[in-house]
Structure 1
Amino acid sequence: MNTHDAPFVRPVLAALCAASLATLAACGGSACFGFDGCSGGNGTPNVAVSGTAAIGKALASATVSLSCASGSGATLSDGGGHYSTTLNATLPCILTVTAGGTTLHSLAFAGGTFNTTPETELMLVYLASQLGTNEASLIANFQNNSQFQRVLENQTDVLAAQTAVVANLQQRYAVTLTAPAFLTTPFVVGQAGVDSDLGALATAGAIDVNGMPDPAAVSLLSAAGLAHPLTTTSTPSSGTGGTGSAPGGMM
């Protein structure tokens, strides 16, 4: 290096070092290279998931656990049932929200908003039945079953299940849901949309007094899933989902 250039090069190097340190700190101590964001120390990406847990009222101060294809994490919901966490994991993730005697489940096939409500519980019931099992077995064996993981990461399959839940609930309980995209639509408890739909479903009897899906609603979605089995599923890429073998629908 030409000694005459030293006064100009040193400030540039100092700025680059400062930027590198800032980037390292933003990644929680893990280096970031390229344009895909931060990765954890074990090479898996940091996944940010948020949402609202509600049953017609907020599930406040609830434990929110995430069990992913690789990795896990936990957080607490706030007074409005909202939760937000970033974890070092490989998608998809199953969410379990526990508040008192109420335990509800949901899933995340990408980073972003994924709510947990009685509707998402019924969606997992439907998906489990499509896979020839029940919800408890789906959740218990998810991390060791590649087929379960492929389906829950497949956006097409998951959104078809969401549509099936809406169609079956509307038909059986004569309720017109105003927020059919209940899994990923941000909402605030007490306002119209996902939360008011939960109130309408509770009034119609699809949700019991404890905020859980009524056994009749569970049986309804279990039978609907069994009638629309998923036999093969293509592998999705980048959380965008692939194409399933069968669409969701009403009985």
Structure 2
Amino acid sequence: MNTHYACFVRPAVAAICVASLATLVACGGNTCISLGGCVSGNSVPDVTLSGTAATGKALASAAVSVSCAQGSGSALSDGGGHYTLTFNAALPCILTVTSGGTSLHSLAFAGGTFNTTPETELMLVYLASQLGTTESALIAGFPSNAQFQQVLANQADVLAAQSAVVTNLQQRYGVTLTAPAFLTTPFNVGQAGVDSDLDALAAAGAIGTNGMPDQAAVALLSAAGLAHPLTAASSSSSGAGSTSSAAGGMM
């Protein structure tokens, strides 16, 4: 039997095959998982992502697309802007929700709830600026750029960016946000919390009538990100210390 195509099941070789469970020794280029054969070492796990897409009103029946470090998925939001999708992927992921002329982005560094709102759009603007690029270039380069993937997978970097968005919006627009964890807090449109914060930001002028962040808000977060750049060394450091200054006030 040619070992390039299958695992031997004779006792001596079977023992080696079983041992490879712990050592991930390749069997004919694949991983040997039992006495019966091998499977591809390139498989990725199932990931479930859910969230709400809203601008203060729900983005209902919107196209939701998710692009990950490996794998992609798509779905439609329901009448309340909620979406859920399960697919094979390696994190992190960038989410894009499109409804008419509104196209908002978000990210996911783990499975679970990750919303898509004008606040998450501004968070990506901030992260892109920290990386010395634009949001559009970050999204376009993400599938092949190891540093982009590293930063978006780093929970500390992402949560620091979230805090920076809250701080800068509150200082610039005089709005006290009641749900600072806007990325991962489940919410329903019409209820207090993330959605009422979006209504307040829209009333203050931070969100335009098209549901997109106002250009002044985009410029604000872009400048704030430039003031707190992320290097390859800082983004690979563990803990919040590497980006502790990222939540600083507006420029």
Instruction: Please report the TM-score for the alignment, with normalisation by the length of structure 2.
Output: 0.80
Query: Residue 246 of structure 1 aligns to which amino acid in structure 2?
Result: T
Counterpart CA distance in 2 for 1:208 and 1:171 is: 18
5+ residue gaps, structure 2: 1-32, 34-38
Query: Residue 242 of structure 2 aligns to which amino acid in structure 1?
Result: S
Aligned residues of 2:156 and 2:243 also touching (Cα < 8 A): no
The structural deviation recorded for 1:243 is 4.8
Residue aligned with 1:75, SS: strand
Given the alignment of the two structures, is residue 126 of structure 1 paired with residue 123 of structure 2, yes or no? no
CA change 1:41–1:209 in 2 (3 A) is: farther
Counterpart CA distance in 2 for 1:41 and 1:77 is: 33
Counterpart CA distance in 2 for 1:48 and 1:40 is: 22
Q: Deviations over 1:100-145 (max 9, x none)?
A: 1100000000000000000000000000000000000000000110
Query: Residue 250 of structure 1 aligns to which amino acid in structure 2?
Result: G
Q: Give 1:107's aligned residue.
A: 107
State which of 213, 218, 243 in structure 2 corresponds to 1:246: 243
Residue aligned with 2:243, SS: coil
The structural deviation recorded for 1:233 is 3.7
5+ residue gaps, structure 1: 1-32, 34-38
Q: Give 1:50's aligned residue.
A: 50
Q: Deviations over 1:40-98 (max 9, x none)?
A: 99421111000000000000000000000011110000000000001101000000000
Query: Residue 175 of structure 1 aligns to which amino acid in structure 2?
Result: V
Identity of aligned residues (%): 76
The structural deviation recorded for 1:189 is 0.3
Counterpart CA distance in 2 for 1:190 and 1:41 is: 46
CA change 1:93–1:244 in 2 (3 A) is: farther
Aligned residues of 2:234 and 2:243 also touching (Cα < 8 A): no
CA change 1:242–1:147 in 2 (3 A) is: farther
Aligned residues of 1:157 and 1:244 also touching (Cα < 8 A): no
Counterpart CA distance in 2 for 1:199 and 1:207 is: 9
Q: Give 1:184's aligned residue.
A: 184
Counterpart CA distance in 2 for 1:184 and 1:42 is: 29
CA change 1:244–1:70 in 2 (3 A) is: farther
Q: Could you tell which deviates more after superposition, 226-235 or 76-85?
A: 226-235
Counterpart CA distance in 1 for 2:42 and 2:146 is: 21
Given the alignment of the two structures, is residue 171 of structure 1 paired with residue 171 of structure 2, yes or no? yes
Residue aligned with 1:245, SS: helix
The structural deviation recorded for 1:203 is 0.1
Instruction: Please report the TM-score for the alignment, with normalisation by the length of structure 1.
Output: 0.80
Query: Residue 176 of structure 2 aligns to which amino acid in structure 1?
Result: T
The structural deviation recorded for 1:250 is 1.5
Residue aligned with 1:185, SS: coil
Aligned residues of 2:157 and 2:235 also touching (Cα < 8 A): no
Q: Give 1:92's aligned residue.
A: 92
The structural deviation recorded for 1:245 is 2.9
Aligned residues of 1:154 and 1:242 also touching (Cα < 8 A): no
Given the alignment of the two structures, is residue 63 of structure 1 paired with residue 60 of structure 2, yes or no? no
The structural deviation recorded for 1:235 is 4.5
Residue aligned with 1:198, SS: helix
Residue aligned with 2:142, SS: helix
Counterpart CA distance in 2 for 1:90 and 1:178 is: 32
Q: Give 1:217's aligned residue.
A: 217
Q: Deviations over 1:9-29 (max 9, x none)?
A: xxxxxxxxxxxxxxxxxxxxx
